[in-house]
Structure 1
Amino acid sequence: MQLGQMPHITFSKLAKKYGNVYQIRLGSSDIVVLNGESAIRSALLQHSTEFAGRPNFVSFQYVSGGTSMTFASYSKQWKMHRKIAQSTIRAFSSANSRTKKSFEKHIVAEAVDLVETFLKSQHFNPSHELTVAAANIICALCFGKRYGHDDLEFRTLLGNVNRFSETVGAGSLVDVMPWLQTFPNPIRSIFQSFKDLNNDFFSFVKGKVVEHRLSYDPEVIRDMSDAFIGVMDHADEETGLTEAHTEGTVSDLIGAGLDTVSTALNWMLLLLVKYPSIQSKLQEQIDKVVGRDRLPSIEDRCNLAYLDAFIYETMRFTSFVPVTIPHSTTSDVTIEGLHIPKDTVVFINQWSVNHDPQKWSDPHIFNPSRFLDENGALDKDLTSSVMIFSIGRRRCIGDQIAKVEVFLISAILIHQLTFESDPSQDLTLNCSYGLTLKPFDYKISAKPRGSIVN
């Protein structure tokens, strides 16, 4: 109960009193919480193997039918699984690959769709449309096709993803208080929904991967499902990988890619409206680099430092993944002079890194320019200090894909539209806590900036 509605803020306050490494009791579990850049980097980079475990939580066993790489415990098989998944994603999205071009085309198509949808409404809440766009992009990446907005199967998938964020808290409570499963109570029924949603989501993914296997041609890699089938279905026996790991990896990619991208874009639109002078400055730079007779492309990125700075500042300021998925220690380890035994559950408070006053001047102020040097170029040292996709062995494997999506969609939206607030409501930056921090519902309007470029 002491953690309140925003545990990451409570963790940071406790760090001021007890230091950056301390232990709390949650239910029946003793949990170590790590705060601040030096403690977290020391743990996840210098002691990456010791902190690479996952707790044996009840809820983790229901994600992706138990074959999720994200939630699996650290082992020789997990290392092999991750290595193969990483190299496959890298090959798929490498600079000269045909698949990279088709991925970018999918992103542009969704961004143009968003522009047209936003212009149809006078005042709207962009949240649902952004989720649809992010889901369509990740489905195109994994399954080679996008879905119509009224496709029943697709709408069910989106409904499940939204409800998953709502029920995940029940999974967390059952993890630290397992006895909640054994007698009738509200948490037990919400946890049952959590299990059902995971089953439905995994069945959807499994069905799509099975369809891909039936038409798989090693000479023609159509999408990520084909790429994973090519390496995991045919992996050597000693890797321990099976067809189920292909489905688990595709599930991981969709689950992670959908929520983070749509949440990032949701915050960005809110911040554009909250700070119109920043929006004008972004439009000015994009017009100067891109002009008005074509759409921004990924090749423009190296000349759009202020847009990249805006994206990094959105990630830092909102810290919309405030606490990572829990880690556990694989062996005894010492951090900042404190001994942590093997199999200890560890919470990583990313929010504390992004709001550390020793690292960031006025961390509570939204200021994209903090990421630019005196020549207006992006400060790579500072951008690498923003923690949203975690670091070390458990770093999100889709982070580069997510950054391309967020860059291209936001560039096209800012190039094509001007966003304004609904005068009937006060814009607040308050948010709800879940798997990600989401802004409360808000309404904005969009005006075209000249004719729409297709």
Structure 2
Amino acid sequence: MADFEGIPFVSTINTTKDGYDPGSRYTTTTLTGLVVAGVLLLSSHFLFRSYQTDKSNYKIPKGPKGLPIIGSFLFLSHYPELTLDKWAKRFGSLYSVWLGKQLVIVISSPDVAKDLMVSNGAICSSRKDMYIKSQTIFAGRGITATPYNDTWRRHRRIANAWLHQKAVDKFTSVFDREATDMVNCLLEASQSGAALVNPQSFAGRCSLNNMLSIVFGVRTASVQDPLVSTALRLGREFMNCTGPVSNLIDFLPLLEYFPSEVRSRGQKLHHDLVETYGGMIERINQCMSLGKEVPDCLASTLLRIREEEELDDLDMAMITSAFMIGGVETTASIMQWFQALIPSYPEIQQRAQEELDSVVGRDRLPDIKDEQHLLYCRAVIKEVERCYNPFWLGTPHATSEDLVYKGQLIPKDTVLVLNTWTIHHDEVRFPEPDKFNPSRYLNDTLTSAQSSNLADANQHDHWMFGAGRRICPAICVAEREIWLAISRMLWSFHMETAPGHAVDLKQYDGLSGRSPVPFKIRLRPRDGNVAKILKGALEKVA
């Protein structure tokens, strides 16, 4: 790690809650603005619908009618994935929903997903320029939020250089260390099984440290480090402000001109991201200016190529913010769902541990070379990802021109969403879909990255990482992180529920990225050798 001593860390973030309810979707000011704008919106709203449906001989896909002005927005305010699943059963695998003035097409089958997002990827891979996510928070610079343009292409090219397979191999030692450190910290926090523990913050810190190493060449020393709470809070606030149905402003443009809590939150989040991650870039910049050694990381690379790539300070702050938000939320959530889920399935846990003991033994930790031989452990991970995909709707795509698909019109600027909940609960592809059953993946020997490229879309393991040209660029990074963390938790602990501390697997936290609600479990070391092995592994990477 680089020597940052004597260089101030630029951050004035308050790491406690700011007095708002993260689960709140509507505010008095938003609804007041809606009433005031209603009359103005009503005529334009119906003119818009008429224009879209009458502009050709084709009609848009059928779907629920919704309410005047706001469309189906209110019907998606509570467990929206279940409502979308119900509509898929009624209207089919391709149907339309109006959210305010915005036409949204919901994709609920692998075949349609491939046809639109892969085969027609040139048309169906842009992004809607959302007011809160794109314009307010990312200021038009976010990799995942930006429509196709030169800025997006430049930023995506830079990002891919840090996320392809060779880069993943380069950082495997980091993922190895952080997975081991997380398990060791859990062992200490649980007092070797004597105390109950909520493992969520430890999983969050593990994912956070992996991305901090890639992006800034630093790591946090413990879950008490202020940067842990700051970074995890920023990521969760981003998810709650930018979920597909988290605010009306993105779908009723006139609301942009009225004061609202969500707009204020978006503006504050932008400021906090610049303050936190832009401040860390400036810290590295100061080190470089003083001739100090700096780590080989994304931030130092951005500083070296800024003139060549015509990057300003905001470009760099938003690129690194996109990495920190996207790279932490998914992997941390899957680890947390595993931690919440597996104690309720002791027979599945035992089978995975027997496989680990047969392949790895009890004298070392599982590593990346063991993955291909631990088919049941891999199946456990894939089943967690199917059942508890953190993003029940993939990041919305947008059409860049009109498209006629199977006799139905999908107009330009239509938002396309991938309904992963319905796809993952298809009774034909996944018999008894509500049942947690890793055995359904036993014959699947591919990684998720490999599976996403299968010609038969119905054979994809899951759709957690999206599809097509905008598939998550960090899929290989996420897979390796998750594998090392989960396999080592299984190797180290008997994970158990405790009387009076039932784990709720139905409720979840978040409006976009889903995480379990807080819970506590017991972590009993599987034998007296666990602490010794963990200590020895950490000494090797110290």
TM over 0.5: yes
Offset of 1:449 from its aligned partner?
1.2
- 2:65 aligns with none
Over 3 Å counting, the alpha-carbon distance change for 1:350 and 1:414 in structure 2 is: same
1:405 counterpart = 2:481 = yes
Distance 1:115 1:39 in 2: 46
Offset of 1:122 from its aligned partner?
1.6
- 2:248 aligns with 173
- 1:394 aligns with 470
Map residues 70-81 of structure 1 onto 2, 5 A cutoff.
70-81=144-155
Over 3 Å counting, the alpha-carbon distance change for 1:66 and 1:114 in structure 2 is: farther
CA contact (8 A) 1:273 1:421 kept: yes
Over 3 Å counting, the alpha-carbon distance change for 1:220 and 1:193 in structure 2 is: closer
Offset of 1:279 from its aligned partner?
0.5
Distance 1:411 1:417 in 2: 10
Alignment partner of 1:434: what SS?
coil
Alignment partner of 1:386: what SS?
coil
Alignment partner of 2:121: what SS?
coil
- 1:293 aligns with 363
1:355 counterpart = 2:425 = yes
Distance 2:379 2:410 in 1: 37
Deviation larger for 101-110 or 137-146: 101-110
Offset of 1:3 from its aligned partner?
2.4
1:40 counterpart = 2:106 = no
Offset of 1:377 from its aligned partner?
5.1
Q: What letter matches 1:356 in structure 2?
A: D
CA RMSD of aligned residues (A): 2.7
Over 3 Å counting, the alpha-carbon distance change for 1:153 and 1:273 in structure 2 is: closer
Offset of 1:220 from its aligned partner?
7.5
- 1:282 aligns with 352
**Which residue of the other structure, out of 317, 321, 325, is the alignment partner of 1:255?**
325
Over 3 Å counting, the alpha-carbon distance change for 1:214 and 1:74 in structure 2 is: same
Offset of 1:4 from its aligned partner?
4.2
Q: Deviations over 1:24-70 (max 9, x none)?
A: 22122222222111111111110112111111211121233431111
Distance 2:208 2:162 in 1: 21
- 1:6 aligns with 79
Q: Deviations over 1:169-221 (max 9, x none)?
A: 5853221234445446xxx1243123212320232111112222344599985
Offset of 1:329 from its aligned partner?
0.5
Where structure 2 has 5 or more consecutive residues not aligned to the other structure, the ranges are 1-73, 535-542
CA contact (8 A) 1:289 1:303 kept: yes
- 2:500 aligns with 424
Over 3 Å counting, the alpha-carbon distance change for 1:422 and 1:89 in structure 2 is: same
Alignment partner of 2:494: what SS?
strand
Over 3 Å counting, the alpha-carbon distance change for 1:241 and 1:293 in structure 2 is: same
Deviation larger for 46-55 or 137-146: 137-146
Map residues 282-321 of structure 1 onto 2, 5 A cutoff.
282-321=352-391
- 2:537 aligns with none
Alignment TM-score, normalising by the size of structure 1: 0.89
Q: What letter matches 1:40 in structure 2?
A: A
Q: Between Structure 1 and Structure 2, how many residues are aligned? A: 443
**Which residue of the other structure, out of 15, 21, 24, is the alignment partner of 2:97?**
24
Q: Deviations over 1:262-308 (max 9, x none)?
A: 11011111221111101111111111211111112112111111111
Alignment TM-score, normalising by the size of structure 2: 0.75
Where structure 1 has 5 or more consecutive residues not aligned to the other structure, the ranges are none
Q: Deviations over 1:354-410 (max 9, x none)?
A: 12223222222111111112xx95695687331001011111111111111111011
Offset of 1:313 from its aligned partner?
0.7
Q: What letter matches 1:444 in structure 2?
A: I
1:342 counterpart = 2:412 = yes
Over 3 Å counting, the alpha-carbon distance change for 1:223 and 1:386 in structure 2 is: same
Alignment partner of 2:364: what SS?
coil
- 2:63 aligns with none
Distance 1:425 1:215 in 2: 48
1:438 counterpart = 2:515 = yes
- 1:135 aligns with 208
Over 3 Å counting, the alpha-carbon distance change for 1:66 and 1:352 in structure 2 is: same
Distance 2:152 2:165 in 1: 20
Alignment partner of 1:175: what SS?
coil
Q: What letter matches 2:525 in structure 1?
A: P
Distance 1:150 1:425 in 2: 24
Alignment partner of 2:511: what SS?
coil
Alignment partner of 2:417: what SS?
strand
Distance 1:45 1:307 in 2: 30
CA contact (8 A) 2:392 2:419 kept: yes
1:211 counterpart = 2:283 = yes
CA contact (8 A) 1:32 1:345 kept: yes
Over 3 Å counting, the alpha-carbon distance change for 1:243 and 1:171 in structure 2 is: same
Which of the two has higher C-alpha Rg? Answer: 2
Distance 2:182 2:298 in 1: 19
- 2:180 aligns with 108
